[in-house]
C-alpha cells in the first residue's frame, strides 16, 4: 500500500541514485507511527541549514528554563557577518532581541542571526542538546562561514533523514524537551518562506501559511548548499498527517542537474499531498 502511494518518490529518487546522486528519504505517518518510506534513511549526509533547527531547540529550551530572556538584546558583530540567506545583513538595526533573531532563523534561515545566537549559547551546548534528544547521526558542526578552510568543519550540519523525520514528529507531539519548548520552535519554523523543494507541491503561500489552507498545514525547514538540497517537515491534511525528511547530495554541475533534483523533490511533495488529503 505504501509503495503504491509513493511510487513517484521511489522512482524519482531511484533514478537520481542510478545517475550518481546520494539520496535519503524518510516518511512516517504521524498519527499511527507507521513508516511509509525508508530509503537509505540511516546514512549521514550534509543537511546545510537544517542543522539550525537544533540551535532553535537549544534557544527555546533556555527560554523555557529562563536562562535568559527572549527580550534580551544581542548585537550584530563583525564576527557574525556572512552573506547568503537572511535579511539581518540588509537591515540597519544593529541589535535585536533573542526571540526576534530566532524568528529570523525560522523565517529566512538567517545566517547572521544564526551566528549571533550561536555566539550566545555556544556550539557545544547545541551538540549536547542534540545528544540528549537521542540524535547520534544528526548534528550542527560549525557556525555559518562564507568559505570553509582546511581547519573548519566541512559542513554546517549533517543528519540522517530517519532522525530528522523523527525529530519533527516529536516536535509536533510536544515531546522535544517539553510541550512549551516544542511549541515555540514550531512557531518560529512556521514562518519559513522557502518552498522551493518538496513543499513546492503543496500550493501554499510561502509568506503566509501559518493557518490551515484547503485543509493543509505545514511546518518545514530546508537546507541548501552547493550540491545539497534537503527538506524536513510536518504536513497535516484533512485525512492524516506525516513527518518527512528528504536529502539529496548531487553533482551541481549545471542548472539542469539542479532542476532535475528539484523536480524530483516536487514529485515527492505530490505523493505526500495525495497521502494526507
Residue 179: per-residue pLDDT = 97
Q: How far apart are CA 6 and CA 123, in angstroms?
A: 38
Q: What percent of the chain has pLDDT over 90?
A: 89
Using alpha carbons, list the distances in angstroms from residue 115 to 55, 89, 107.
Answer: 10, 12, 15
DSSP structure class, residue 44: -
Q: How far apart are CA 242 and CA 192, in angstroms?
A: 18
Chain centroid to Cα 75, Å, comes to 25
Residue 1: per-residue pLDDT = 45
Quick check: 158 and 54 in contact, CB under 8 A? no
Residues forming beta bridges with residue 225, ordered by sequence position: 228
Using alpha carbons, list the distances in angstroms from residue 7 to 225, 235, 272.
Answer: 27, 19, 11
Quick check: 249 and 45 in contact, CB under 8 A? yes
CA-based max dimension of the chain: 54
Quick check: 106 and 188 in contact, CB under 8 A? yes
Residue 69: per-residue pLDDT = 78
| pLDDT one-digit tens code per residue, 165-200 | 999 999 999 999 999 999 999 999 999 999 999 999
Helix, strand, coil: what percent of the chain each, to 5?
Answer: 45, 20, 35
For the chain, which ranges sit under pLDDT 70? 1-4
Chain centroid to Cα 255, Å, comes to 23
Amino acid at each position: 500500500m505504501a509503495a503504491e502511494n509513493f511510487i513517484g518518490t521511489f522512482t524519482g529518487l531511484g533514478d537520481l541514485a542510478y545517475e550518481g546522486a546520494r539520496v535519503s528519504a524518510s516518511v512516517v505517518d504521524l498519527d499511527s507511527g507507521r513508516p511509509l518510506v525508508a530509503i537509505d534513511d540511516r546514512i549521514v549526509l550534509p543537511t546545510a541549514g537544517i542543522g539550525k533547527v537544533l540551535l532553535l531547540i537549544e534557544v527555546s529550551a533556555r527560554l523555557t528554563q529562563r536562562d535568559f530572556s527572549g527580550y534580551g538584546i544581542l548585537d550584530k558583530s563583525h564576527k557574525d557577518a556572512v552573506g547568503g540567506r537572511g535579511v539581518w545583513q540588509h537591515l540597519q538595526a544593529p541589535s535585536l532581541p533573542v526571540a526576534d533573531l530566532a524568528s529570523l532563523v525560522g523565517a529566512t534561515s538567517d545566517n547572521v542571526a544564526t551566528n549571533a545566537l550561536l555566539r550566545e549559547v555556544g556550539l557545544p551546548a547545541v551538540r549536547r542538546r542534540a545528544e540528549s534528544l537521542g540524535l547520534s547521526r544528526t548534528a550542527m558542526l560549525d557556525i555559518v562561514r562564507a568559505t570553509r578552510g582546511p581547519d573548519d568543519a566541512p559542513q554546517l550540519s549533517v543528519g540522517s533523514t530517519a532522525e530528522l523525520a523523527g525529530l519533527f514528529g516529536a516536535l509536533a507531539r510536544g515531546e522535544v524537551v517539553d510541550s512549551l519548548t516544542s511549541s515555540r520552535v514550531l512557531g518560529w519554523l512556521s514562518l519559513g518562506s522557502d518552498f522551493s523543494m518538496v513543499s513546492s507541491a503543496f500550493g501554499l503561500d510561502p509568506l503566509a501559511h501559518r493557518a490551515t489552507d484547503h485543509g493543509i498545514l505545514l511546518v518545514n525547514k530546508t537546507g541548501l548548499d552547493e550540491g545539497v538540497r534537503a527538506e524536513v517537515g510536518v504536513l497535516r491534511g484533512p485525512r492524516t498527517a506525516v513527518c518527512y525528511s528528504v536529502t539529496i547530495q548531487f553533482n551541481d554541475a549545471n542548472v539542469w542537474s539542479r532542476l532535475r533534483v528539484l523536480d524530483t523533490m516536487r514529485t515527492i511533495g505530490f505523493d505526500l499531498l495525495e497521502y494526507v488529503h
